[in-house]
Structure 1
Amino acid sequence: MPRVSLSCPSLHPALVLLRPFLSRLPPLPQPVRDTDVPTLFREPYILSGYRPVGLPWRCYFYSLFQMHNETLNVWSHLLAGVCIALRFGAFAVFRGGGVLGLRLQGPEGQGLSLDPPSLPLVIYVFSSLSYLSCSTAAHLFQSHSELAHYSLFFLDYLGVAIYQYGCAMALYFYSSDPAWRHSGLGEIYLPAAALLAWLSCASCCFAKLHYRRPYPLHRKFCQVVPTGLAYLLDISPVAHRLATKSWASNSALPLHGLQVALFMLSSFFFSCPVPERFAPGRYDIIGHGHQLFHLLLSLCTLAQQEALFQDFLSRRPALVREFGEERLLLACASFPCLALCSALTAVALRRRARTRLSKEQT
């Protein structure tokens, strides 16, 4: 067990204003170098800023206010989740009833009934908050132990799968054109999106468990290829609109173009350890590739949400007529099924991780 220092956590200048609050926190150990943590917790070209392994859970929670190499990863998705929740709340209030999946009924507006046209939007917001909160938890607590590291990143991949399918469902109902929906791709879109979302979760969990550091290149392919295929399929209705419609004719299209550009840029930083590869140790705390990936992905989600709000407002009145209420409800019912299948896959691989770690310790 690492010795806990009685010194206060080092403060970045950006946190100086919080000094009165931070002074009330219990003392935390200072971040350590990569050689002081097991290989599992090390990242390529990141030489310092690691939190010691094996501390009480509360120490990792309090490290939310300490500068280390996960601080920006945590805060970027935490703040993005808060922004998405607040923005959706404001949208629901100022755009009228029914946007939360329920609608008022009766001569005096008493009583509630299900509002199928808004359910995919609710699922989308829930899925966005799921991936952001799972990612926040994973990066905040993963240093506790090897089992926690595996378990929390499996949770992270589960959140990504949930988001992929929630996003696909919203884009299908709100952002697709009839010409695309009647194409061969449009006919199989939702089942294929569900399959690829589950495959993305399963392959990422498998790659995390199966390969050891230093990771071979094909581990990255095992993670990137299913996720990339899922994205290409999920974004296809938007790509069709961007390619066939005038961007000036619809206020949502520039936002869709922005979210695609931000996602492509974030994918580059996820796949390539840049800029830390060219200056190991220089970007340990601020500026390494995974932090840039988090920031860009957060901005991408915010832009995507705004685009979907615009599409929702323009297409909501005709949604039941175009798709039918039963089809909307059936599609929404498939969402918890996908979430359950992905969760069971993550749980099964966590059990394998626990069994393997137990054997290694005996």
Structure 2
Amino acid sequence: MPRVSFAPPSLCLTFLPLLHRLLPSLPPTVRDVDVPPLFRERFILAGYRPVGLSWRCYALSLFQIHNETLNVWSHLLAAACVVMRFMGPEGQGFSVDASSLPLVLYVFSAVTYLSCSAAAHLLQSHSEQAHYSLFFLDYVGVAVYQYGCALALCVYSSSTAWTQSMLGQVFLPAAALLAWLSCTACCYAKLRFRRPYPLHRKLCQVLPMAVAYLLDISPVAHRLSTCSWTSNFALPLHFLQVVLFLLSAFFFSCPVPERFSPGSFDIVGHGHQLFHILLSLCTLAQQEALFQDFLWRRPALVREFGERRLLLACASFPCLTLCCAMTAFAMRRKAQGQLMKEQR
């Protein structure tokens, strides 16, 4: 009787060691007491990745279950949805001109903030320096998105009465200034305060962003209060994105539900995950509303705003991005110096 060999083919013998080198087994997650205080979150007791692993391990932890998994995937999936929606039916025959450039910048800003946030939560456990650097990058992404929203809402979602008001005249410069202040305040609060964080650390982060949001949403608030919601399909979507944003702000500010049952929501369901999910849904609702407003207003947009004014407004976008990036880089240098002093 002939023997049956179960030896793998030579190709497998060559491929499996290579696969093992490319995809190493990841160490198990650890408890909060096993990582430095900088990497701990209040009321989250387990699911942390060990500090000091290789960059490749943290990149591959995208496919591992830990307490940052949903934070990363919620924003990665949202970024993919933003891009796919932009390349959808409205994108067929789409040409970039003065009237569509604010929409392009909005989509770019949304993908930027979602990607920067996902990268920060995925890779921040590498080291303290990486933690600071990546979250400073995250704050740059948030500021860029704030101004991208303000620009698109001003151009596509404002009424004529609001545009001609005093607020409408100073809206974009004020929105750019507040976006930069939000980035600066978040970077400063991250660097200045240590765990356990005092209340004024959260206020330092939340108040500038709250003021910026109240300004940025003013074109929509004016339309929602003065126009019939049945006259335009975009208005219910704008209302939905406001509700989703307010809910996300609540979960960003308050560590619930984990406060009431520490350890029960380490992997799924803690407040920052709910913040990420709600903010992603808010972005998708906002994008759809802006698409509807863009299609509605595009024929007369250049005539109403003027091509030169539209292009100047869009030119301020890279200027703001550069200012925020320089601020984050300066804060990174300060963090690096601070960490070097502590290690001596």
Q: TM-score, normalised to structure 1's length?
A: 0.89
Residue number among 318, 322, 326 corresponding to 1:340 in the alignment: 322
For 1:121 and 1:352, the matched residues in 2 are separated by: 36
1:195-237 per-residue CA deviation (whole Å, 9 max, x = no partner) reads 0000000000000000000000000000000001111100000
Secondary structure, in 3 states, of the residue corresponding to 1:117? coil
For 1:37 and 1:124, the matched residues in 2 are separated by: 38
What amino acid is aligned across from residue 59 of structure 2 in structure 1? F
1:272-331 per-residue CA deviation (whole Å, 9 max, x = no partner) reads 000000000000000000000000000000000000000000100111100100000000
For 1:207 and 1:93, the matched residues in 2 are separated by: 40
For 1:52 and 1:335, the matched residues in 2 are separated by: 38
Matching of residues 160-171 of structure 1 within 5 Å: 160-171=142-153
For 2:24 and 2:324, the matched residues in 1 are separated by: 38
In structure 2, the partner of 1:89 is 87
In structure 2, the partner of 1:15 is none
Total equivalences in the alignment: 326
Residue number among 38, 41, 45 corresponding to 2:39 in the alignment: 41
Deviation at 1:92, TM superposition (A): 4.3
In structure 2, the partner of 1:355 is 337
What amino acid is aligned across from residue 198 of structure 2 in structure 1? P
Q: Does 1:52 align with 2:50?
A: yes
What amino acid is aligned across from residue 50 of structure 2 in structure 1? P
Secondary structure, in 3 states, of the residue corresponding to 1:316? helix
Residue number among 208, 227, 250 corresponding to 2:209 in the alignment: 227
1:166-219 per-residue CA deviation (whole Å, 9 max, x = no partner) reads 110000000000101111211110000000000000000000000000000000
1:249-278 per-residue CA deviation (whole Å, 9 max, x = no partner) reads 100000001000000000000000000000
Residue number among 59, 62, 67 corresponding to 2:60 in the alignment: 62
Matching of residues 64-83 of structure 1 within 5 Å: 64-83=62-81
Deviation at 1:97, TM superposition (A): 2.9
Residue number among 294, 298, 301 corresponding to 1:316 in the alignment: 298
Secondary structure, in 3 states, of the residue corresponding to 2:33? helix
Deviation at 1:91, TM superposition (A): 3.8
Secondary structure, in 3 states, of the residue corresponding to 1:188? helix
In structure 2, the partner of 1:11 is none
Deviation at 1:25, TM superposition (A): 3.2
For 1:203 and 1:185, the matched residues in 2 are separated by: 24
Q: Which runs of 4+ in 1 moved over 2 A?
A: 91-94
- Structure 2: runs of 5 or more not aligned: 1-18
Answer with 1 or 2: which has the greater Rg.
2
Q: Does 1:210 align with 2:192?
A: yes
For 1:246 and 1:67, the matched residues in 2 are separated by: 46
1:317-348 per-residue CA deviation (whole Å, 9 max, x = no partner) reads 11110010000000000100000000000000
What amino acid is aligned across from residue 258 of structure 1 in structure 2? L
In structure 1, the partner of 2:6 is none
The answer to which structure, 1 or 2, has the higher relative contact order (CA under 8 A, 6+ apart) is 2
What amino acid is aligned across from residue 282 of structure 2 in structure 1? C
For 2:224 and 2:161, the matched residues in 1 are separated by: 13
For 2:125 and 2:90, the matched residues in 1 are separated by: 38
In structure 1, the partner of 2:11 is none
- Structure 1: runs of 5 or more not aligned: 1-20, 102-114
For 1:142 and 1:287, the matched residues in 2 are separated by: 20
In structure 2, the partner of 1:185 is 167
Matching of residues 1-362 of structure 1 within 5 Å: 25-94=23-92, 96-98=93-95, 101=96, 115-362=97-344
Secondary structure, in 3 states, of the residue corresponding to 2:87? helix
For 1:153 and 1:87, the matched residues in 2 are separated by: 27
Deviation at 1:26, TM superposition (A): 1.6
Deviation at 1:356, TM superposition (A): 0.5
Q: TM-score, normalised to structure 2's length?
A: 0.93
What amino acid is aligned across from residue 97 of structure 1 in structure 2? F
Using the aligned pairs only, state the percent identity.
Answer: 73
